[in-house]
Structure 1
Amino acid sequence: PAADYDARERIWKAHENYIRGLFHAMAHGRDPRIPAGLQRDVRNWGLVRGRHTDCHPADTPGWSPQLYVREARRLDNGLAWSGRDVSDIDGVPPRLPSIVAMASYWQDSHAASRIAVRDERGQWGIVNEGHFMLPAGGRYQRSPLPFELMVPHRDQCTNLMVPFCVAATHQAFSTIRMEPTSMALGEAAGTAAALAVIDRDRVDIQDVDTYRLQQMIVANGGVIQGVTNWELLQRKLKHRLDRLRG
């Protein structure tokens, strides 16, 4: 994440060369461990026609011009929202009450490496190291995300929110990183920014009234802890009817 453009270009080309070399080895390599049927299949593969043709001179036509970077820097404010937090066990309140968005995706991490090993019969196989695929969310399959997830320490910055590179662990980020979740956190950040300057009364972003923020998010159709605006209105109406009857 700290690399300059030249260094990022070298990193990207190293990945491209590795992948190109892997396919070449699978198609033409003489290693007896490569099945002949697999080699025949790989030899029939090629670049997609008509894709990535108008590319930079340093790029290869037919190959994606960008390297997919799933995660890099993340906010460090001491919160470290974790895999346990996004599991959202039914009936257990979240670690923080200031929930402003919900994630809804599995906790998943791609394998860091694939290792060739032999079993007790001497047969070769592949072991994936670093991979996990775990459910997230409880009955609603939603994971609660608090306002503090995207707010730095006050002594570091008072006018910044980070709705994507949030203060989460690697495991929790695997759930939070999805685009719809980024949209929900982005809406919460935008609403919080409006609250910070409303009525010309400027406050530090850490001083935003999170209860009022939650009310505005729900009023705009957002979902917090499985409660929609319609459900909230139903509860308010029932409460008022009960008062009238009583």
Structure 2
Amino acid sequence: MKKCFIFFIICYSLKAQIPNTKNVYNTDIVIYGGTSSAIIAAVKAKQLGHSVLVISPETHLGGMTSSGLGYTDSGNTRLIGGLAKDFYKRVYSKYQSNTAWKWQKKSSFKSKAQSNSAVNKEDNTMWLFEPHVAEAIFEDLVKENNIQILRNEWLNRKQKLEKTDNTITSFYTLSGKKITGKIFIDATYEGDLMALAGVTYHVGRESNTVYNETFNGVQKNIFQHSHNFHKFHIDPFRIKGDKNSGLLPKIGPTTSEKNGEGDNRIQAYCYRLCLTKKAKNKIPFAKPTVYNPFDYELLVRLYKAGWNETFKKFDAIPNLKTDSNNHGPFSFDNIGMNYSYPEATYEERKKIAEEHELYQKGWLYFITTDPRIPKKIQNKMRQWGYAKDEFVDNGGFPFQLYIRESRRMIGEYIMTEQDVLGKKSNSRSIGMGSYSLDSHNTQRFVTEKGFIENEGDIGVRTPEAYSIDMGAILPKKQECSNLIVPVCLSSSHIAYGSIRMEPVFMILAESASQIASLAIKNKSFVQDVSYDELQVHLLESGQILNKN
């Protein structure tokens, strides 16, 4: 009897040491994120013959590309190649079918894209699209390439990932899954895997002196767009003229910082709304669950001062819908309410996202209901509503908050204003950028003269397209040798303002998977991949690496 008991104890002990294989995943390339960048990286990895696993915190795939940003921030579309271009070819193909045009005739859609026509028949690409069309394309790509995705799986940021020296071997999800791989790609907007891996990064604006820049750091009295109060002298106090009454909501005190100084502020976030006037497809703007009309007192004062650009960024996309973005001094951007987001816990981020949602819903409801809104504007806004056939399991409201900027890696090569403006060149191009230096406002404060102003909005055109260096998506080797970061890449704040466009994230994702493939093939660190060898493969796949 005693021998049987000892045998039982030994067997039980051995069983306890065997891991639960149902919760262990092992693959060549692990991609963390559900963004457009993540899906393109996965497609490329599969095309190159590797096993790949996507760990997606999101249920809906595509990030901002499928969550309202249908008016593509493209820059020069000639420079978008490879799988990124294939995405826009697929958009074109989707809209060739008459069944895709439910709410308007195909022939009646004449809208322009940012830098070109919406449809380019020379290469069969289309640059404007509805959110559900973009999501469907990403789902098509997943099915066609038999990509394994674990959805609604979140990196466990409280449990250390496993590393051998400077090489990641595995990480854990909140549900207890162990994810093991050879190469890891962080394709999230937040860079959580990068941060957990111990890679150096920056949050906020650097001082201009750090990288010899002009448009980084604090930028007071810079009025390059019309998202400011420059022409409107608006009283900031709850009771006009009474300093003791306190400031209106969402306004900070006078700032003493000098231009060019660095800080921890990041550009504002918002949701890109898909709106429509089509009565049969419209959800009216309802009163949000938390609503205080005084939160929008500033808007009343702005209208009284003569502001009249409410609808300027209701950009048309197919089927009588819009991609509606921030525009003006007090619009969709929830300025100053996101500073803690990059380093926040998941619970804290959720609260920040909910506050942004309530703010935008309240802004729209206020305009359509408050008697102090000019009737002409109010009547026009009442014609609009959320598109019923978009984000159908979220009441017509987008899934993804527009994280314009979060953590930014400090990697092997740091992209700066000098690269973007052509004052400096790099020699290992993995893709091209061409968009303006573009930052939304970072703060709203009271000027020394006692009026309201926004600060941080920058829009400086690039003289020509520029290349993005291979080292910008690679950590320093001593920090992590098998991680690639195509979204929270190595860049200064103001350079990131140009690079941070969805087509570019897709371009860099494809290059990231090609680097990963060569590292696996050659059994090398990602930093040791030969650029000459990489360049050949990128060009063969249709990537565009120079402006000529």
Q: Normalized against structure 1, the TM-score is what?
A: 0.70
- Deviations for 1:207-231, whole angstroms, at most 9, x for unmatched residues? 122233223323433322235xxxx
Is 1:17 aligned to residue 343 of structure 2? Answer: no
CA distance in structure 1 between the aligned counterparts of 2:368 and 2:495, rounded to whole angstroms: 38
What is aligned with 1:145?
A: 468
| Alpha carbons of structure 1 residues 222 and 51: separation in structure 2 relative to 1, 3 Å | closer
What is aligned with 2:369?
A: 28
CA distance in structure 1 between the aligned counterparts of 2:515 and 2:388, rounded to whole angstroms: 46
| Alpha carbons of structure 1 residues 46 and 215: separation in structure 2 relative to 1, 3 Å | closer
Which stretch shifts more, 6-15 or 42-51? 42-51
- Is 1:158–1:204's contact at 8 Å kept on the other side of the alignment? yes
- Deviations for 1:75-121, whole angstroms, at most 9, x for unmatched residues? 123743112211225xxx60x3222221132222223356799x9xx
* 1:128 Cα deviation after fit: 4.9
| Alpha carbons of structure 1 residues 16 and 101: separation in structure 2 relative to 1, 3 Å | same
What is aligned with 1:134?
A: 460
Unaligned runs of 5+ in 2: 1-341
SS at match of 2:392: coil
* 1:133 Cα deviation after fit: 1.7
* 1:62 Cα deviation after fit: 2.7
| Alpha carbons of structure 1 residues 137 and 210: separation in structure 2 relative to 1, 3 Å | farther
- Deviations for 1:131-185, whole angstroms, at most 9, x for unmatched residues? 22222252xxx21111110111111111111112100112211222223222322
CA distance in structure 2 between the aligned counterparts of 1:29 and 1:86, rounded to whole angstroms: 45
Is 1:66 aligned to residue 66 of structure 2? Answer: no
What is aligned with 2:442?
A: 112
- Is 2:473–2:489's contact at 8 Å kept on the other side of the alignment? yes
Q: How does 1:142-221 map to 2 (within 5 A)?
A: 142-198=465-521, 201-221=522-542
What is aligned with 2:427?
A: 97
- Is 2:438–2:460's contact at 8 Å kept on the other side of the alignment? yes
- Is 1:88–1:144's contact at 8 Å kept on the other side of the alignment? no
* 1:67 Cα deviation after fit: 1.7
* 1:41 Cα deviation after fit: 2.7
Aligned length: 205
CA distance in structure 1 between the aligned counterparts of 2:536 and 2:396, rounded to whole angstroms: 49
Q: Which has the higher helix share?
A: 1
- Deviations for 1:181-222, whole angstroms, at most 9, x for unmatched residues? 223222222222222233xx4122211222332233234333
Paired amino acid for 2:408: R
Paired amino acid for 1:212: E
* 1:127 Cα deviation after fit: 5.6
Is 1:225 aligned to residue 517 of structure 2? Answer: no
| Alpha carbons of structure 1 residues 194 and 44: separation in structure 2 relative to 1, 3 Å | closer
Correspondent of 2:377 among 38, 45, 50: 38
Paired amino acid for 1:87: L
| Alpha carbons of structure 1 residues 87 and 28: separation in structure 2 relative to 1, 3 Å | same
Q: Normalized against structure 2, the TM-score is what?
A: 0.34
Paired amino acid for 1:156: E
Paired amino acid for 1:133: G
CA distance in structure 2 between the aligned counterparts of 1:48 and 1:191, rounded to whole angstroms: 38
Q: Which has the higher contact order (CA 8 A, sep 6+)?
A: 2
What is aligned with 1:241?
A: none
* 1:3 Cα deviation after fit: 3.0
CA distance in structure 1 between the aligned counterparts of 2:383 and 2:531, rounded to whole angstroms: 57
| Alpha carbons of structure 1 residues 43 and 223: separation in structure 2 relative to 1, 3 Å | closer
CA distance in structure 2 between the aligned counterparts of 1:50 and 1:65, rounded to whole angstroms: 14
Correspondent of 2:409 among 50, 60, 75: 75
Paired amino acid for 2:508: L
Percent same amino acid among aligned pairs?
31
* 1:5 Cα deviation after fit: 3.2
CA distance in structure 1 between the aligned counterparts of 2:507 and 2:360, rounded to whole angstroms: 35
- Is 1:99–1:225's contact at 8 Å kept on the other side of the alignment? yes
| Alpha carbons of structure 1 residues 156 and 22: separation in structure 2 relative to 1, 3 Å | same
- Deviations for 1:44-100, whole angstroms, at most 9, x for unmatched residues? 433333433323xxxxx23223322222122123743112211225xxx60x32222
| Alpha carbons of structure 1 residues 85 and 48: separation in structure 2 relative to 1, 3 Å | same
CA distance in structure 1 between the aligned counterparts of 2:446 and 2:343, rounded to whole angstroms: 33
What is aligned with 2:253?
A: none
